[in-house]
Amino acid sequence: MSDEISRRLEEAARAHGAEAETHADVARIAASVIGPARRRRRATGAATFAAACAAVAVFAGGSLAVMGALRGADVGPATHEGTPVIMSDAPLPTPQGGSDSPTSEQGKPITEYPPVAPSRGEGFPVAFEMRDWVWDYVGNGWSLQSYSASQGLDAKRHVTIPEATIYLVSPDGAAFELVTLPPEYSGAMRVASWQEDERGAHIVWDGDNTADPAVPAGAGVLDLTTGSVSPLVFSTPWGVSSTVTPLAASATGNELWAAFLGGHQRFYRYGTADGWTVAAVNDLESIGDRTADHRWDTAELVGDRRLVTRPDSAAVLFERRPWRNGPLEEFAVYNVNSGALVRSELQFSFPIEPDVVCTVTAWIGDSELSYDCGGKRLSFFTVVPVTGGSATAEYGEAVISGSKSAVLRTSTVGYREATSVSYLANP
Amino acid sequence: MAGAWELVATELVETRYGALVGYATMLTGSRSDAEDLVHDALIAVFGKRRNLPNVGAAEGYVRRAIANKFLDRARKGGRERLALRRVAIKAEATVPGPEGPAADRSSMDQAMALLTAQERACVALRYMDQLSTREAAVALGISEGSVKRYVYDGIRKVSAAINIEIEATEHEWTSVSLKTEGAS
């Protein structure tokens, strides 16, 4: 039986392989492998302390593109040194009404707390029960925090995971249990954005193939007062989307999402003023057809896919290439807040060979991007403006992360908290 | 002048690209996803400064990288898992050639689509790469027990789907009786 299965697997694989080979341009594929691989080798070869720092900066900067979704002091500097963050094994914060207690937008510190909520088990924070009057205190310094679990990769059998729970957390670190979610929304559930004025949130969760029946991944609009979830789906020109994923959520409450259906994708903007609209990004040629060769798509990356979104989560990078990992022809930056799309055509100030491929390595402020370019004989870093029109790339020195130094918000680590990493799934 | 690794990479792509995509397709269920996976795996393998003396050695590394990256993507859940499920119900594209092999391929594709990501990876490493349980466990970074369980579950599903009977002696997984401390 084993031999028979092996034989049939091999046969099926061979058939797929033969089909793939008839369509493959192996010379082009080899070139598209060697260029990025060479750049990786060069980067790892120069693994100095500075290089490591730069890599961490880029990585952490990417994660903050996501954390910007939680618009509050959870991404800003700590305002109260020494105030405890509630953890499952930490003592409850004592109610504080003194002068060192932070003041909300409404100017009122909490002086009395509701009863402690029943424990939800290991990993969950100790929290107070939610009361409607707590909302009156919510302002600067507060945050929404989610706690959820997922199936372990190495789990032998499907395990029942606890219900995901969302807490409202005060600047003092006091958590108030807002809502718990049903099992189908609980797998690795994350808050993608918080609509403070509506007392709502956009959330995403992972699917679970080990469950019977399988639980699909998805996203939804959560009412923070009732706990009800409305699954987020879009009516695309090709039908109702099967999957959606957030790409950016800015500090001012504007977002960009991608919706997928088969080989198609479409982008939607959520604006604080006008709700859901079709994003201007969809005007880019062939961006909706993921099977087309010559088309626009989110930025092509080797490695860190979080670079698609600017660290402040207010802009998303799109590129046009003749094929996957092919030479960069044009790029466009979509401003999540204004909804505007600025297209730039890449030009070089010096002659280059046609095999030179550029991949983005960093956002530099609001107006520039760093690209790492390389071909069979030429490799260089360059910084290009994103102001539209013709973007001229100069020959830059081979440094690890861009040829310009810029101060970026690169990481946030809470007191006695794990370092956050990106949870937005980029296409 | 191209380095030795570049010559190996070029030769690997020129001579084994189809085989790698075929292998990856059995994992992903979709040729376009498989091509992406192979591309990423090639860059990952050749992007590291390691000694790859020949195409055979390089292909082994790339195959492990394909399985690993496939599992990484599945671990992230979300779209990849949904994509797999979509593939499972997607109609097969028409392919040239004799009807027999095409139908055979299609039935194996559908059978593999029934498996979880972990089961696919373990079945591929054991039954296509002919790795031992220990080797597969090391390649995927999971325990031998898990490999056995995934292979057992995966093969059972595949066998049922393509109407092959499992012989009791052939499965690798055996239950382990737990003993509580102090029990005789």
Q: Give the pLDDT confidence score for residue B55 in this predicted structure.
A: 79
Tell me the pLDDT tens digit for each residue of B103-133: 455 778 888 888 888 889 999 888 888 888 8
Angstrom distance (rounded) from CA B13 to CA A144: 49
Whole-number mean pLDDT of chain B? Answer: 72
Beta strands at A229-231 and A235-236: parallel, antiparallel or unpaired: unpaired
The stretch B159-170 carries a mean pLDDT of 63
Chain B residue at shortest CA distance from A258:
B79
Percent of chain A with pLDDT over 70: 73
Q: Which of residues 7-66 of B touch A (CB under 8 A)?
A: 9-10, 13-14, 17-23, 25-26, 31-32, 34-36, 39, 42-43, 46-49
Q: Is omega for the bond preceding A311 within 30 degrees of 0, making it cis?
A: no
Instruction: Tell whether B172 lies on the interface with A, counting CB pairs under 8 A.
Output: no
State whether B128 and A209 contact (CB < 8 Å): no
> What would the pLDDT profile of A30-54 be if each residue is shown by its tens digit?
888 887 787 777 665 543 323 322 2
A416/A11: higher pLDDT: A11
Report pLDDT digits (tens) over A257-266.
999 888 899 9
DSSP A377: S
- If one compares A151 and A422, the residue with the highest pLDDT of the two is A151
Percentage with pLDDT > 90 across chain A: 26
pLDDT score of B134 more than 70: yes
Inspect the interface and report whether the beta carbons of A207 and B102 lie closer than 8 Å. no
Highest mean pLDDT among A125-134, A236-245, B79-88, B99-108: A125-134
The span from the CA of A10 to the CA of B23, in Å, is: 8
Residue with tokens 């006695």: A416
User: Comparing A246 with B139, which gets the higher pLDDT?
Assistant: A246
What average pLDDT does chain A have?
74
Cβ contacts (< 8 Å) between A33 and chain B: which residues?
9, 13, 39, 42-43, 46
Q: What pLDDT, in 10s, does the model give residues A185-201?
A: 988 889 988 998 889 99
Contact status of B173 with chain A (Cβ, < 8 Å): no
Determine, for residues B46 and A33 on separate chains, whether the beta-carbon distance falls below 8 Å.
yes
pLDDT at A331 exceeding the cut of 90: yes
List CB contacts (< 8 A) between A302 and chain B.
Answer: 43, 47
| pLDDT tops 90 at residue A222 | yes
Q: Look at B163 and A358; give whichever has higher pLDDT.
A: A358
State yes or no: pLDDT of A344 exceeds 90.
yes
What pTM, to 2 d.p., does this model score?
0.56
pLDDT on residue A116: 94
pLDDT category of residue A156 using cuts at 50, 70 and 90: low
- Kindly tell me if the per-residue pLDDT of B86 is higher than 50: no
- What's the rounded Cα separation, in Å, for the pair B44 and B10? 15
pLDDT at A99 over 50: no
Q: Using 50, 70 and 90 to split pLDDT, how confident is the model at B72?
A: confident
Please judge whether B82 and A243 are an interchain contact, meaning their C-beta atoms are less than 8 angstroms apart. Answer: yes
Confidence of residue A395 (pLDDT cuts 50, 70, 90): low
- ipTM entry: 0.76
CA gap A332, A315 in Å, rounded:
10
pLDDT higher for A93 or B60?
Answer: B60
Verify whether the Cβ–Cβ distance B128 to A425 is below 8 Å: no
Closest CB to A210 among B31, B112, B116: B116
